[in-house]
Structure 1
């Protein structure tokens, strides 16, 4: 019985550490209208969405992937911490074009506002595919 509890505990610990670590990047946001999107054309996907930078786009392979995103701080030293705490899960529905993309993930305005003050414009994040 003790061995079974130990195995379950270790499994939970491994799962928790992988979510806590994640990849580091930056997030920006874009404003409506959100259609058409590179992944789904004129299909409505709600507002918990994001556009992927070339770093995670994977030649359209990122379409439909979900990422858990957490704000970790301001991108400029000395700026006040814009983070609101917690994390969100967004669905990739679009490509953030290389020429104009300023972040790893370009969140919808609504998604960004849930984890950070929109006045920041750009934040440091940790993200993981879920």
Structure 2
């Protein structure tokens, strides 16, 4: 399934995007998140970049599925499962990916050693 968003007045289709796991911390920033301040939203959470709406994506739920490795030398990183995450923070321009998942959420869809995988999300 594809996801549509508007960018500069044009509709664009995003079928597969990169997803990044930050191994050193959960995706929320040190301090309050842009969406929920200091409210605990659990561990199935993610940070949105401008590619999926940035701050406007706050509170949205996305079903994320790994579709393959970004490194062709590392096969079979995807688990075949999907995870539903809630966007709890905003990743400003310069992010390493489209959606930055918590470690717990990433582990459901891919081997944690992957770090970055191709995805589909709805």
Please say whether Structure 1 and Structure 2 have the same fold, judged by a TM-score greater than 0.5.
Answer: yes
Q: Does 1:108 align with 2:102?
A: yes
**Which structure has greater helix proportion?**
1
Displacement over 6 Å in runs of 4+: none
Which structure has the larger Rg?
A: 1
Structure 1 match to 2:20: 28
1:7 match: none
Deviation at 1:76, TM superposition (A): 1.7
CA root-mean-square deviation: 1.5
What corresponds to 2:37 in structure 1?
41
TM-score (normalizing by structure 1): 0.75
Kept in 1: contact 2:52–2:98 (CA 8 A) = yes
Question: CA distance change for structure 1 residues 37 and 71 in 2, over 3 Å: closer, same or farther?
Answer: same
* More strand by percentage: 2
C-alpha deviations, 1:41-85, integer Å up to 9, x for none?
100000000000110134x21000000000011002222221011
TM-score, normalised on structure 2?
0.80
Which runs of no fewer than 5 residues in structure 1 stay unpaired? 1-20
Matched positions, count? 106
